Structure 1
């Protein structure tokens, strides 16, 4: 799938698309199996009418588990505060814009906007940059195995690119793809040797990408990955990665206008001499 190379990891054991399609067919075909439905106390008409609501309920059950995912991010930030990496942590009220405020000594405040999987408009377009933030990041907590991590990230970056070149105010400084699935058997991490234990969870370093700075004119925006920010190194220091090594674990997003075409580059870095790049 397009964009797989935008991240260094792949999902293990994720169901292939053809299996997902077959399951969808089975769910739909049950409406024709009146004998089975009758054995469950349902008519075919009741099944058809109740199916959308049942799917929504299943989604709701999945959403209820988001509390543990939110706990993942809060626990990591609390660990950073306990170590003195951040001097202050302001926890959010969960809602449309779930924003953590982290204070870095001798630097200022960082805004981390918590979102879900990056392919939705809510997670990649609907956000605002706080006026108090010196740097602002989208943190995508994505549990989906429907696509490879890189493909998820590319979808989000494509949406961010639309906003980047729009009239909408504000721009995020970076994006982070990381949740409690990272480093597990379902999403093995090539940075696992840097794993730390936080609140009983094994957490490898996140995939961090620096976004371009929004400037008028020009034909290239961070195309060579030369933009440097403070928070990536601060975050990575939690995993024992030094300031000197931090750039080798920090990826980037770049845009380039060539003629009438607008190109995108995504590079993920996961250690000295190790990187993967997708361009389109």
Structure 2
């Protein structure tokens, strides 16, 4: 039971204290893959810690702990006085039921959110294939529109949408770089990651780790796709295409010019020095190790 208390405390601390620290670590996009991994480690770590804590309460509670001195100590750690720290079976069963119901409700709502985002994306991909004009590539479709745009949507199969205005304004190298950016989104399964994070943020909007994590990871995944496209077609061509296409995009899609365009353009045109990258990489790996290792250490310590 002590492990459950500490795991809940760990989850609370990471939920409220990690966002500003992770924002400072990842806002420059020095190592976007590691930055996204740091955010995801914190988010998954909190969810796993809470799930394990609830499981421990259920298992130990049903095992006959309402009168155990261990339970009294654990509740006193939360500030509950000794006079009420022994809840008895009714109170214990109520606590267990509340934890299980809350966990189930969050899980169901997140699952529904992911399914809603996925269905919207698939509908958009289907519409793009029905309305758009086919091109030389079977997954790229041309849409007649006055605003230049290019984005990808997850579907069966996936689709990359390019407007006629974008084709008119972009040069061949720029268009190739933009398409490589969208290919990187699909190959990296960025849609699936963001669907889960956005559903989680919509379910728990008042816990800062989840909405800020969803926004930060979205920008970092754009940077990951930028790096892949820049390696193939050059940073200048991608930046030029990015600036031409800067603007809003459909909610179901990921687009080269959708978010943080100035920051992304600057990091491509003025890359960081190797020394800065190495220091940042070390700091990011340390953050990931501490975030992931803390709940494991708590469980091991509390079981000895």
Same fold per superposition (TM over 0.5): no
Which structure has more relative contact order (CA 8 Å, sep 6+)? It is 2
Greater fraction of residues in strand: 1
Q: Which protein has the larger Cα radius of gyration, Structure 1 or Structure 2? A: 2
**Larger fraction in helix:** 2
Instruction: Give the TM interval when normalised to the shorter protein.
Output: 0.3 to 0.5
TM-score norm. by structure 1 comes to: 0.35
- What TM-score, normalized to structure 2? 0.33
